[in-house]
Structure 1
Amino acid sequence: MTSVVLVDDEDECLDVLEAELTRFCPDFQILQKFNNPLDAIPYINQNKFDALFLDISMPVLNGFDLLKQVNQIDFDVVFVTAYENFALKAFEFCAVDYLVKPTSKESIIRAADRLRNKKKDHSINQNIALLLANMQKDSLKKKQVAIPTFEGYEFVNTQQIVYAKAEGNYTTIVLQGQEKILISKTLKEFEGLLNDAVFARIHNSYLVNFNYVKKYIKGESGSIVLNDGTVLQVSRANKNKLLNLIK
């Protein structure tokens, strides 16, 4: 059995989630449900369970603030959210599970399967810390992103990113001044987090900030020259998209 706790300030959403889990996931045992996040904190800190289904947008104390008051996150977290676009990319980038309201049979079963199939993720604390950093309103206004490094995570101003290069399952981020940061995420995952029109994928291996592009050189696929003289190849597949952006 997988023991779970549900937290959502809307009684209707709470009842629907409970009914769907009971119907589609009979091996899930709902230990407790809370419509007040303040009431949930003592229970979470004093009891052992496998997973927390947590609403994000709640009055008084949102889901992120609730997690900050948990003594030890030794359970999996499935965020329940009405967010779209950037926020969902942030969830994926930070490797945390989520459900989008209104939930559906398919999404419930998918989330349950992920919980069954994975062992306790020992990096869950780091993943959630990374998510919290990327979802802070102040960080978004400042165009900052928090990225995972081998030492923890680091705040980077997106306006200082010149380009990013794929390195297999890793990505090298090159900042203004040639400072480089190696992160344990693919280029595709990093691209999704940026959500910024000034960045363009010019090649399977390169994501470029157009503010640092000096010129485009014609050719079979072409290449671009950055302000510091760096030359990056453009792929055939991305050539037309690049030219349209330039125009």
Structure 2
Amino acid sequence: MSMLNAIIIDDEPDSVKNLEKIIHEYCPNVNVIAKANSVGDALIEIENKHPGLVLLDIELQDGTGFDVLEKSRHRNFEVIFITAFNQYAIRAFKHSATDYILKPVDITELREAITRVSTNRSEKSVGNFSILLDNLKSESPRKLAIPTLQGYEYILVDNIIRIEAERSYCTIFLLDKLKIMVSRCMNDYQKILDERQFFRAHNSYLINLQHVKMYVKRDGGHIEMVDGSIVPLARRKKDFFMEAMNTFMT
């Protein structure tokens, strides 16, 4: 595994000291070359040192870690967010395929995150940061980063009609009649997609309520989507579905 030159950006001295100690003891391929506790200092260090990895806290003295990403001219680095931030931000991280670790830092989680960024370094970083920043500006994340063999494909959440699961794979069906197969389980997508817009109609189906065409009562009940696809509705979920649709439309 190649060496990574890293910058720690955090305004809590104890957190910086603890993180640096963990890296020194458990992450031999990471070399901490600088530290910063503000947006201004972070931008200077990134510009001068050109790190391969930035360990970035959210709350800083004069702004946020997101300000660092927005203002940085040098973005060819990986980022691992070190955060005690809220669930809304965590959902945005997951949508954009951005690594994050919750405080207090867990040694195993940090090592796994560093391994991921070390083995998957690519030009994806800039695209993922852009998706993350875009998602954080809206109440509900608008884009989703989908892993592919070539890297990541970025899709609009509103363009998803449904997601179908088969064993450990999922197929995402889009408005433009495209479909993308990914090696992630349905539960992952149910967790990160807004429950006010997406409904688990069946163990194998997650649907976008925005693209429901009609509910059909016969034969136990099913849902027809705007692309003509038929989605089975589990009997025990009928009332929940009707409630979800009513809530979505109000």
TM-score range, shorter chain: 0.7 to 0.9
Deviations 1:209-230 (A, max 9, x none): 178464342436x41245x694
Determine the structure 2 residue equivalent to 1:36: 38
Determine the structure 1 residue equivalent to 2:114: 112
SS at match of 1:26: coil
Determine the structure 1 residue equivalent to 2:129: 128
Alpha-carbon separation, structure 2, partners of 1:9 and 1:97: 20
Deviations 1:154-181 (A, max 9, x none): 766x5xx68324496652333xxxx667
Unaligned stretches of 5+ in structure 1?
A: none
Contact 2:216/2:224 (<8 A) preserved? yes
Against the structure 1 CA distance between its residues 180 and 133, is the aligned structure 2 distance closer, same or farther, given a 3 Å change threshold?
farther
Letter in 2 for 1:163: I
Deviations 1:38-72 (A, max 9, x none): 11211201223221101112242211111122213
Letter in 1 for 2:87: N
Unaligned stretches of 5+ in structure 2?
A: 244-250
SS at match of 2:60: coil
Tell me the TM-score normalised to structure 2 length: 0.75
Q: CA deviation at 1:112?
A: 2.4
Q: Percent identity?
A: 22
Aligned length: 231
Letter in 1 for 2:14: E
Deviations 1:5-45 (A, max 9, x none): 10011222212211221222233211111112211211201
Bigger shift: residues 164-173 or 190-199: 164-173
Superposition misfits of 4+ residues, deviation over 3 angstroms: 147-150, 152-156, 165-170, 179-193, 210-214, 228-231, 241-247
- Among candidates 137, 143, 148, match of residue 146 of structure 1: 143
Deviations 1:57-103 (A, max 9, x none): 22422111111222131111111111243432322221111111111
* 1:62-141 equivalent positions in 2, closer than 5 A: 62-116=64-118, 118-136=119-137, 139-140=138-139
Alpha-carbon separation, structure 1, partners of 2:51 and 2:123: 15
Aligned-CA RMSD value: 3.4
Determine the structure 1 residue equivalent to 2:207: 207
